[in-house]
Amino acid sequence: MHVACLDMEGVLVPEIWVTVAEATGIDELRLTTRDISDYDELMGHRLAVMAERGLRLSTIKEIIGDMGPMPGAVDFLDWLRERWQVLVLSDTFYEFADPLVAQMGRPTVFCHDLVVEDDQVVGYALRIADQKRRAVRALHGLNFTTLAAGDSYNDTRMLLESDFGALFCPPRNVVDEFPDLPVAADYDALAGLFEQAAARLDVR
């Protein structure tokens, strides 16, 4: 039995922080895991910028509510769910993800939690360190095989742990650092890679 494990931002929905940066004019929030591989360093930067600019959670959620999934994402999810189980493994936060998940038919999502005081984001609580890779490893322990896709540095450990992993529309710096990972430029290409991988896994 195969489980398709997908990153959320950059694979199913636009990058949340980039969208927030564009909507608020706070360019310092444009940095993502595509730019900084150390997640704690990245979140420390974001928390400092939000505090300095007085950016409230309610404002961020309003912006996210207007985002919507990427074009073709819902159809791709429906295609996947006709074939395999689907698990979204994300380093975003439930406070951000919920309105987007609702627009995608509520796939199962594992992500993290924000620490909020008086509508101000003051910290974050990881579900578990290295959760994407460890979730895939746990699925293997349950005798599932895994197909995975992501776009950023924080996805690469999940992709390498999976029975098959592919980069989806990644930036050049990630491709250059992980040249052995196949790359899909659109959902049709990713679907084809998954079908080929599943066929190979089925005859092992």
Q: In the chain, what is the straight-line distance between the N-terminal and C-terminal CA atoms, in Å?
A: 12
Residue with tokens 């996805």, as numbered in its chain? 155
Tell me whether residue 195 is one of the annotated catalytic residues: no
Q: Which candidate in 7, 15, 155, 161 is catalytic?
A: 7
The CA distance from 175 to 181, in Å, is: 8
What pairing do the DSSP bridges indicate for beta strands 164-168 and 145-150? parallel
Tell me whether residue 113 is one of the annotated catalytic residues: no
Q: Which helix (H) or strand (E) holds 120?
A: strand 120-125
Tokens of 54: 């007085």
Q: Point out the residues that are catalytic.
A: 7, 9
